[in-house]
């Protein structure tokens, strides 16, 4: 049964807003509340409060306000995942469920689960395996945790598209973190290669070679998409890649590749330039390069 359920969010950014919008459309009787640390930030509190209010969400000024929800969905940035659970856990009660959708290492998910379960609440590791738009809460996810199988009826009723990865927290996020090493790495390689090609005045030769030898990628739309994702989400991807690096290190392997991918994503995410259009790819990349070099110069001058 989902009628009368209450769902709270800790962190109310893009993913949380997307989930809330489609969940509300799926089941109008659901009740929602949310807390976000930006409610305490002078420059961002107004926008965050307005975003919650226009969606009819109960605004909580502290994590304690989430204590009456049936489900609490943690949807913060990767570097705030542990802090969010630390702030939330003292207010949890037996019978509540925490759904952790953050892109963090298996070790962090296990640590989060331990804090939640100490309070008698349930914990579900949920890994979101694709961009949340356009499918929102129906985006494919992997879930893991002791309660995963028992939650099937509720997840089915709400229209989630999920697969169970295992009974142990960390099983779902491990798949995402390892896969992300390739996905975000491919973005970083594409962006850096084409920026370097333009900077060295050999763009046409490099682009023609890549589009011929890797024609299955679907150039130029592929290149435009990779730039758009990194320019728009690079800083968030950087945080995820640092968690991927931690995941790889935990396996006894070398996390340095993921760390370097994080650095590329961080730099492109700070670049002030519009995403290139496929129809005018080189012109757009030229603008990104200009913004990137201006950014690098500015960073050097601050040192």
What's the CATH code of the domain at 151?
A: 3.40.50.720
267 shares a domain with 192: yes
- Give the number of domains in the chain: 2
189 shares a domain with 83: no
184 shares a domain with 84: no
Give the relative orientation of helices 203-213 and 281-302 as an angle to the nearest 10 degrees: 120
Among 122, 150, 167, the domain-final residue is 167
Among 167, 198, 233, the domain-final residue is 167
Task: Measure CA 103 to chain center.
Answer: 6
Among 135, 167, 199, the domain-final residue is 167
* CA nearest neighbour of 237 among 287, 187, 290: 187
262 shares a domain with 123: no
Coil, strand, or helix at residue 128? strand
In a domain, residue 1? The reply is no
Owning domain of residue 287? 174-302
**pLDDT (0 to 100) of residue 298:** 75
CA distance 151 to 111: 22
Could you give the maximum distance between any two Cα atoms of the chain, in Å?
Answer: 63
237 shares a domain with 110: no
Phi and psi of 133, rounded to 5°? Answer: -110, 135
CB 241 within 8 Å of CB 235: no
Q: In DSSP terms, which residues pair with 59 in a beta bridge?
A: 34
Does a cis peptide bond (omega within 30 degrees of 0) precede residue 83? Answer: no
In a domain, residue 291? The reply is yes
212 shares a domain with 154: no
CB 224 within 8 Å of CB 275: yes
12 shares a domain with 150: yes
The CATH number covering residue 224 comes to 1.10.1040.10
187 shares a domain with 144: no
Query: Average pLDDT for consecutive 10-residue bins of the chain (303 residues)?
Result: 85 98 96 97 94 97 97 96 97 97 97 97 97 97 96 97 97 97 98 98 98 98 98 95 97 97 97 97 98 84 63
Tokens of 96: 């509540």
Task: Kindly report the pTM of this predicted structure.
Answer: 0.91
In a domain, residue 87? The reply is yes
CB 113 within 8 Å of CB 126: no
Task: Measure CA 105 to chain center.
Answer: 13
In a domain, residue 269? The reply is yes
In a domain, residue 178? The reply is yes
187 shares a domain with 104: no
Residue with tokens 């999920």: 162
158 shares a domain with 201: no
193 shares a domain with 99: no
Residue with tokens 């989400």: 233
**pLDDT (0 to 100) of residue 153:** 96
Task: Measure CA 28 to chain center.
Answer: 26
Radius of gyration from C-alpha coordinates of the chain:
21
53 shares a domain with 163: yes
Residue with tokens 């605004």: 59
């Amino acid at each position: 049964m989902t009628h009368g359920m209450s769902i709270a969010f800790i962190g109310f950014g893009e993913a949380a807003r997307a989930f809330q919008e489609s969940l509300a459309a799926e089941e109008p009787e659901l009740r929602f509340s949310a807390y976000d640390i930006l409610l305490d930030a002078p420059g961002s509190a107004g926008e965050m409060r307005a975003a919650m209010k226009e969606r009819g969400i109960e605004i909580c000024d502290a994590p304690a306000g989430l204590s009456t929800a049936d489900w609490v969905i943690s949807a913060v940035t990767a570097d705030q995942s542990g802090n969010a659970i630390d702030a939330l856990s003292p207010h949890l009660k037996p019978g509540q469920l925490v759904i952790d959708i953050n892109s963090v290492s298996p070790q962090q998910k296990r640590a989060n689960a331990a804090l939640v379960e100490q309070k008698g609440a349930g914990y579900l590791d949920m890994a979101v395996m694709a961009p949340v738009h356009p499918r929102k809460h129906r985006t494919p996810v992997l879930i893991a945790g002791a309660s995963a199988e028992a939650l099937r009826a509720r997840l089915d009723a709400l229209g989630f598209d999920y697969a169970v990865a295992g009974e142990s927290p960390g099983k779902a996020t491990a798949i995402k973190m390892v896969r992300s090493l390739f996905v975000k790495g491919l973005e970083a390689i594409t962006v850096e290669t084409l920026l370097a090609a333009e900077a060295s005045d050999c763009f046409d030769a490099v682009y023609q070679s890549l589009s011929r030898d890797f024609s299955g990628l679907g150039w130029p739309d592929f290149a435009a998409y990779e730039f758009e994702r990194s320019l728009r989400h690079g800083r968030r991807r950087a945080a995820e890649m640092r968690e991927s690096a931690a995941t790889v290190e935990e396996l006894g392997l070398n996390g340095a590749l993921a760390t370097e991918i994080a650095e590329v994503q961080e730099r492109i995410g700070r670049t002030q330039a519009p995403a290139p259009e496929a129809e005018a790819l080189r012109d757009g990349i030229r603008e990104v390069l200009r913004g990137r070099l201006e950014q690098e110069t500015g960073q050097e001058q601050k040192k």
